[in-house]
Chains A and B, each alone.
Chain A
Amino acid sequence: MSAVRQVDVLVVGAGPAGLTAAATLAARGAGRIEVLERERTPGGAPRTCAHGGFGSWRRPLTGPRLARELAEAAVRAGAVVRTGVTALDWAGPLDLATVGPEGPEILRARAVVLATGARERPRAARLVPGTRPAGVYTTGELQRAVHLHRQPIGTRVVIVGAEDVSYAAADTARRAGAEVVALVTDLPTHRTAPARALDTRLRRGVPLLTGAVVAELLGHGRLSGVRVRHHDGRTAVLPCDTVVFTGDFVPEHELARRGGLVLDPRTRGPAVDGALRTSRPGVFAAGNLLHAVERAATAAREGALAAAAVTAALAAAGPGAGTAAGPGAPRPDGVPLTVDPPLRWITPSRVTPADALPYTLRTASRLTRPLLEITQGGRVLHRQRVRGAAAGRSLTLPAHWTHRVDPAGGPVRVAVR
Chain B
Amino acid sequence: MTVVTTGGPLPPQPYDVAVVGAGVVGSAIARALARHPRLRVALVEAQDDVGQGTSKANTAILHTGFDAVPGSLEARLVREGARLLTAYAAESGIPVERVGALLVAWDREQLATLPRLAGKAARNDCHDTRLLGPAELYAREPHLGPGALGALHVPGESIVCPWTTTLAYATQAVRNGVHLHLECRVEQAARRDGVHELTTTRGTLRAHRLVNAAGLHADTLDRRLGLDDFTVTPRRGQLIVYDKFARSLVRHILLPVPTALGKGVLVAPTVHGNVLLGPTAEDLDDKRATGSTADGLAALREQGRRVLPALLDEEVTAVYAGLRAATGHEDYRVRAHPAQGLVTVGGIRSTGLTASLALAEHTLDLLRETGLDPGPARDLEPVRMPNLGEAFPRPYQRADLIAADPSYGTLVCHCERVSLGEIRDALAGPVPPRSLDGLRRRTRARAGRCQGFHCGAAVRALFEAGRRDAAPAPGAPAEAGGT
Contact = CB atoms under 8 A, between A and B. Distances in A.
A148 interface: yes
A175 B444 CA distance: 31
B200 interface: no
Contacts of B457: 141, 144-145, 148-149, 151
Interface string B450-469: 11111011101100100000
Interface stretch (B85-93, B98-106, B189-197, B288-296): B288-296
Given A144-B458, A148-B457, A149-B458, A123 B292 contact: no
B322 to A, nearest CB: 11
Interface stretch (A101-109, A281-289, A293-301): A101-109
Interface string A135-156: 1111011001100110101000
B483 A136 contact: yes
Contact of B461 (A134, A151, A153, A220): A151
B411 to A, nearest CB: 5
A101 B395 CA distance: 12
Contact of B409 (A103, A120, A218): A103
A102 B399 contact: no
Nearest to A126: B316
Contacts, number: 129
A120 B453 CA distance: 7
Interface string B311-333: 00001111110000000000000
B409 A101 contact: yes
Given A38-B411, A144-B457, A122 B296 contact: no
A100 B409 contact: yes
A129 B399 contact: no
Contacts of A195: none
A103 B450 contact: no
Interface residues on A, range: 35 or more
Contacts of B169: none
A346 to B, nearest CB: 21
Contacts of A221: 482
Nearest to B47: A221
A168 to B, nearest CB: 15
Given A134-B483, A135-B483, A136-B483, A215 B407 contact: no
B261 interface: no
B409 A129 contact: no
A149 B319 contact: no
Interface in B383-407: 396-397, 399, 402-403, 406-407
B370 interface: no
A217 B288 CA distance: 14
Contacts of A51: none
Given A99-B396, A135-B483, A119 B291 contact: no
Contact of A140 (B318, B435, B453): B453
Given A129-B291, A132-B320, A151-B460, A101 B410 contact: yes
Interface in A13-69: 38-39
Nearest to B320: A132
A125 interface: yes
Given A103-B409, A134-B483, A136-B483, A121 B402 contact: no
Nearest to B238: A129
Contacts of B409: 99-104
A129 B296 contact: yes
Nearest to A221: B482
Given A124-B318, A127-B319, A141-B457, A103 B399 contact: yes
A344 interface: no
B214 interface: no
A145 B454 CA distance: 10
Contacts of B320: 132
Interface in B407-465: 407, 409-411, 414-415, 417, 435-437, 449-454, 456-458, 460-461, 464
Interface of B: 241, 245, 288, 290-294, 296-297, 315-320, 396-397, 399, 402-403, 406-407, 409-411, 414-415, 417, 435-437, 449-454, 456-458, 460-461, 464, 481-483
Interface of A: 2, 38-39, 84, 86, 88, 99-104, 119-125, 127, 129-132, 134-138, 140-141, 144-145, 148-149, 151, 153, 215-218, 220-222, 250, 254, 257
User: Closest 10 interchain pairs by CB?
Assistant: A134-B482, A122-B451, A101-B406, A144-B457, A145-B457, A141-B456, A140-B453, A129-B292, A131-B291, A119-B453
Given A136-B483, A141-B456, A222-B482, 7 more contacts: A102-B409, A127-B316, A129-B296, A138-B452, A140-B453, A216-B293, A217-B291
16 contacts: A99-B396, A102-B406, A103-B402, A124-B241, A134-B437, A134-B482, A134-B483, A138-B450, A138-B451, A141-B452, A144-B458, A145-B460, A149-B458, A151-B461, A216-B293, A254-B415
